[in-house]
Structure 1
Amino acid sequence: MQYQAENQTITIPSGDHLISLRNRKRMDLTSVKSIERFDQQEFYVRTSQGTLQIKGEELKIVHLDVDKGLLTLEGTVRGLQYDDEQSSDGAKGLLHKLFG
């Protein structure tokens, strides 16, 4: 996959998850699978590396290409946090063992 960033083209190996954050105002993400939910203060984005929670102010989508897995956000970014999908699968397995 190729990603156009300002005046350069970057080749990204298929499936790699990258985050580019410029001055905490513009964020580019790759390997985005879906956007679970969002508003101006919080985004939950499902990526190849787990669910990413993005907190900030006046967050908005500038560009979204679901087929290529690309997302660009603008606003003031305050924090990022991942929730690994593997840990949620483990919890699901435990509940299945108890009640399934």
Structure 2
Amino acid sequence: MQYQAEHASITIPSGDHVVSLRNRKRMDLTSVKSIERFDAEEFVVRTSQGHLNIKGEELRIVHLDVDKGLLTLEGLVRTFQYDDEDREPSRNFLHKLFG
């Protein structure tokens, strides 16, 4: 995959996970496996590097290519944070309740 920056081209090896954030208003992601859930304030995306939680305002999907694992979001990005790939929120919640 080739990524066009302002003045240079960068070649990204296939399968690498890349996050690009422009002016906190446009986010491009590669190696996206699935979108677990989303709304205008939060996206939970499963990537090759783990679950990525994106929070903001007026978030929306601009481009999604499932076959290539590409996702582009627009809106105001406030935060984004990774969780471990093997962590499943529902299992952990039940585990905390019933130990």
Q: 1:9 to 1:63 in 2, by over 3 A?
A: farther
Q: Counterpart of 2:28?
A: 28
Q: Counterpart of 1:58?
A: 58
1:14 shift after superposition: 1.6
RMSD: 2.2
Runs of 4+, deviation exceeding 3 Å: 2-10
Aligned residues: 91
Q: 1:36 to 1:6 in 2, by over 3 A?
A: farther
Q: Counterpart of 2:16?
A: 16
Inter-partner Cα distance in structure 2 for 1:80 and 1:50: 12
Unaligned runs of 5+ in 2: none
Corresponding residue SS for 2:36:
strand
Q: Percent identity?
A: 78
Task: State the TM-score, normalizing by the size of structure 1.
Answer: 0.79
Unaligned runs of 5+ in 1: 96-100
Select the structure that is richer in helix: 1
